[in-house]
Amino acid sequence: MSEFFAMGGYGFYVWSSMGMVLFLMLLEPIVLKIQHRSLLKNIQRQKRRQASKH
Partner 1 sequence: MAINWFKYSSPSSFYPLAGKMIPVFMTLAIVLIMGGLYWGFFETPDVLSDQKQYYRIIYVHVASAWMAMWLYVVMVAWAVLGLIFNTRMSYMMASATAITGAIMTALSLWTGAFWGQTSWGTWWDWDPRMTSQLILLFLYIGYIALQSAIEDNRRSDRASAVLAMVGLAIVPVIYYSINCPDPNECASLHQESSLKRVESNILIAMLVVTAGFWMYCFAVILMRVRNIILLRESHTQWVERLEVKK
Interface residues with partner 1 (CB under 8 A)?
A: 4, 7-10, 13-14, 16-18, 20-21, 24-25, 28-29, 32-33, 35-37, 39-44, 46-47
Rounded to 5 degrees, φ, ψ at 53 are -70, -35
> From the CB of 3, what's the least distance to partner 1, in Å?
11
Residue pair 16/22 in contact (Cβ under 8 Å)? The answer is no
Closest to partner 1 by CB, 9 vs 52, is 9
- In the bound state with partner 1, the residue whose beta carbon lies nearer, of 2 and 29, is 29
d(CA 13, CA 6): 10
